[in-house]
Amino acid sequence: MTPARVGLDARLTRQMSVGMKTYACELAARLPRVAPEYSYVSFTHGGNFGWSEQVRLPLALRRARLDLVHFLSQYVPLVLPRRFVITIHDVIHLRFPQYFKAKVGPYYRTVVRHACARARRIITDDERTVDDLVELLGVARAKVRVVPLGVAEHFREAAEPFAGERPYLLYVGNHREHKDLKTLFEAWSALPERWNVDLYVTGADDFGGELQRRNESARAIVALGDVTTERLLRYYAGARALVQPALREGFGLPMLEAMAAGCPVIACRDALPGALGAAAQTYPPRDAGALRTEIERVLADEGLRSRAINSGREVARRLSWDRCARATADVYREVLEQA
């Protein structure tokens, strides 16, 4: 029997986050090996919103004579194939519209809502996003399948820990408002003087002098700029903890990467996906006092820190990209068998 042909919209565009690009690359690379019962055709060229997405991509999908298409992000053409699956990692733009450009909300409420209504299945990373999809986009809950993301094997490999001038906490991610770095900065600044611990933040110093105002002689907030994967692994290995203060995450790959590398995780409870929940210390949203307390606990209690490291590594062992790819292919099977 000829295997079903599955098209993967694996474009990596400027609008996509680092996590979304990682997801697209990992699935496109692993599905042919993990789920060889299907034949895969990847579509990798073109941007968003223009001719290449709205005309060239639909024509290419049609010419490929596919049995199923998987759009790996919410950026889709208006002319959709007859049978498709779509991945929506999160709807943070609708949950916190005040932090994003005014044009983003209408895109979700029209194009993304239309695609979700037409899709045979919707894949998302965490149960919390299922509720958001139902509430904010009117998605039928029965169509949604939760497939947690994975972590690349190299994050589990032993790495030489980065040794800074002082011990340090680590934040990995962008600096958008919903990441709530303000709460992290306030919690760090409120640490008692005995904790001479720096705070490393990936990305450029685009905080308008905020870091300089908060820095002290005994400790500092350090903007790391762009960080290679190899160097990031060393930062994870050497950090006292990764802190994720975001008000919401679709999945939050840095948290899983840190766990795989043996770094404890402290996260806002609304940002932590269920798949990682048992392995992280949490605090309420925007509560700088509670975050400071959790940071102090991890700094002071080596037993707690050791347990967090072991729990995180156990979670990371279970959440591989191969597992994510296999579960995704199971969604394809569900759709194709119905067809």
Report the CATH number at residue 89.
3.40.50.2000
Q: Looking at per-residue confidence, does 122 or 338 come out higher?
A: 122
> Between helices 253-260 and 18-34, what is the axis angle to 10°?
70
* Confidence band for 312, pLDDT divided at 50, 70 and 90: very high
217 with 259, same domain: the answer is yes
**Residues of the domain holding 13:** 5-150+320-338
pTM for this model (two decimals): 0.93
Cα 184 to the center of its chain, rounded Å:
19
Residue 268 contacts residue 244 (beta carbons within 8 Å): yes
Does residue 339 surpass a pLDDT of 90?
no
258 with 191, same domain: the answer is yes
> So what's the pLDDT on residue 155?
95
Beta strand pairing call for 144-146 and 121-124: parallel
* Confidence band for 81, pLDDT divided at 50, 70 and 90: very high
> So what's the pLDDT on residue 244?
97
Q: One-letter amino acid identity for 174?
A: N
> So what's the pLDDT on residue 171?
98
141 with 289, same domain: the answer is no
Beta strands in 82-153 (DSSP E): 84-87, 121-124, 144-146
* Measured distance CA(276)–CA(283) in Å, rounded: 14
> So what's the pLDDT on residue 84?
98
Does residue 278 surpass a pLDDT of 80?
yes
The residue-averaged pLDDT of 263-292 equals: 96
9 with 51, same domain: the answer is yes
* Confidence band for 1, pLDDT divided at 50, 70 and 90: confident
Q: Give the total number of structural domains in the chain.
A: 2
87 with 218, same domain: the answer is no
The residue-averaged pLDDT of 189-211 equals: 94
> So what's the pLDDT on residue 239?
97
108 with 161, same domain: the answer is no
Beta strands in 204-259 (DSSP E): 221-223, 241-244
Q: Is 84 helix (H, G, I), strand (E, B) or coil?
A: strand
The residue-averaged pLDDT of 28-51 equals: 95
303 with 213, same domain: the answer is yes
- Average pLDDT score over the chain: 95
Q: Is 162 helix (H, G, I), strand (E, B) or coil?
A: coil
169 with 233, same domain: the answer is yes
Write 209-214 long-range contacts (CB < 8 A, 24+). 210/185, 214/185, 214/188, 214/189
284 with 298, same domain: the answer is yes
65 with 127, same domain: the answer is yes
> Between helices 229-238 and 253-260, what is the axis angle to 10°?
70
Does residue 123 surpass a pLDDT of 90?
yes
* Confidence band for 216, pLDDT divided at 50, 70 and 90: confident
282 with 160, same domain: the answer is yes
* Measured distance CA(82)–CA(28) in Å, rounded: 21
120 with 253, same domain: the answer is no
Q: What's the full length of the chain, in residues?
A: 339
* Measured distance CA(62)–CA(73) in Å, rounded: 19
